[in-house]
Structure 1
């Protein structure tokens, strides 16, 4: 990985608003009317489902609440300041919201072509591509790029988890281990880089007591350890379920 050739100032154009220091962060709420309207519609649809499909209604409300945390609350603006927070945002999208969405939109996901291998590769490609320095710099400095990044990470991860839930356990275990290795490798490359890669954060980390390289290392470590471990834990849970079933057979 190499850094962008032209430094960019995320604070001027980020969808989530300007980078904020600790004293300003709690005032940085996103009041995008279109986003708020979409979330309000999601709440109404989920409330209607509560009486007919209680489980899906609860999933829908949970998903809306999580989206609000990521895109409306000051957490969104915090990602303008720190790469590590932006990484956490992406991982919550891929590892928490996406599996919830895969359960909520099970029938819709079933209509999308592509098997487990294809969506494992697609989800991995999305995560790797958007954390390449030049593409990341473009995505965080204009709204179109930002939403392309968010949508592709979320959509590919949702279909990945849908296929994990549907596929035979041995295949799902193999896919989870492949995803774990890919996430760990990306995190390791970011962590072990000898130079700061993400120009959007070159001038935004000081208020948080970090240098750009320290911020980058924290973000890489979050990918390398906790995120990779999520895939491992799910794979181990499937192994346990598989061995129990075989023991009963």
Structure 2
């Protein structure tokens, strides 16, 4: 249920976390816990079946479940209500760690012709939900909050699935990853260099953490600008290394 904090409606995760009450700020929503249990059972069964088929265990789905648990159940959830910088961390882990694990664990390989559209849709959604008005709406209503999170995650899984399906096409893979890293850095820079606080839900929630709303926003922008691009650059490096390895094997023959 949406709560009221300081005259403002709070996000699904509850009241903004404070340093003195951080370890009690766990999300115990029974519907979420039930959903995670169902996903754990289904994901575990799928991982075992795929592992049996491949002759080895695939830790991607269990890893994705643990990340989802950390993002939505632990105090990290309530911290993202208090600090926009933590929301930036939440979203980056959601789309750049959880999503590729899901894409790999689910074995999605049917999107080889959809890399361009997937990248565009995911980028548009990421920018949309970090615009001040949609972001404020998401933190003020449970349904919009989950629409934000699930649309970001779903579009990211689509993006990473399409990327993995085109992994051997180094031109498409490298170009897409470089472009995505660039737009992520641009969004981070725009947020970091904004002269005024943009995100109303955090206007009165950052003081307990010893920073102003503008400083919190600047930190969030830096997180998107620098570490936020690293997963895409790492993937780019892996794609280039794989292409060089294939070239070496071809030359050896």
Could you tell me the TM-score, scaled by structure 2's length? 0.89
Any unmatched runs of 5+ in structure 2? none
Task: Decide whether aligned partners of structure 1 residues 144 and 85 sit closer, same or farther in structure 2, where only a CA change above 3 A counts.
Answer: same
Task: Tell me the equivalent position of 1:30.
Answer: 27
**2:113 and 2:143 mapped to 1: Cα distance?**
26
Task: Tell me the equivalent position of 1:16.
Answer: 13
Task: Tell me the equivalent position of 2:218.
Answer: 217
Any unmatched runs of 5+ in structure 1? 1-7
**1:58 and 1:32 mapped to 2: Cα distance?**
27
Task: Spell out, residue by residue over 1:67-88, the C-alpha distance to the aligned partner (whole angstroms, 9 max, x if none).
Answer: 1100011100000100000010
Task: Tell me the equivalent position of 2:148.
Answer: 149
Task: Tell me the equivalent position of 1:241.
Answer: 242
Task: Tell me the equivalent position of 1:123.
Answer: 122
**1:32 and 1:61 mapped to 2: Cα distance?**
21
**2:57 and 2:146 mapped to 1: Cα distance?**
26
Task: Tell me the equivalent position of 1:46.
Answer: 43
Aligned length: 240
Could you tell me the TM-score, scaled by structure 1's length? 0.90
Contact 1:16 1:30 in 2 (8 A): yes
Contact 2:60 2:101 in 1 (8 A): yes
Task: Decide whether aligned partners of structure 1 residues 245 and 51 sit closer, same or farther in structure 2, where only a CA change above 3 A counts.
Answer: closer
SS in structure 2 at match of 1:196:
coil
**1:229 and 1:49 mapped to 2: Cα distance?**
30
Q: CA RMSD in A?
A: 2.0
SS in structure 2 at match of 1:236:
helix
Task: Spell out, residue by residue over 1:65-112, the C-alpha distance to the aligned partner (whole angstroms, 9 max, x if none).
Answer: 1111000111000001000000100000000000001012224x62x6
Task: Tell me the equivalent position of 1:139.
Answer: 138
Task: Decide whether aligned partners of structure 1 residues 195 and 176 sit closer, same or farther in structure 2, where only a CA change above 3 A counts.
Answer: same
Aligned pairs for 1:172-191 (under 5 A) are 172-191=173-192
Contact 1:10 1:18 in 2 (8 A): no
Which structure is richer in relative contact order (CA contacts within 8 A, separation 6 or more)?
1
**1:92 and 1:181 mapped to 2: Cα distance?**
18
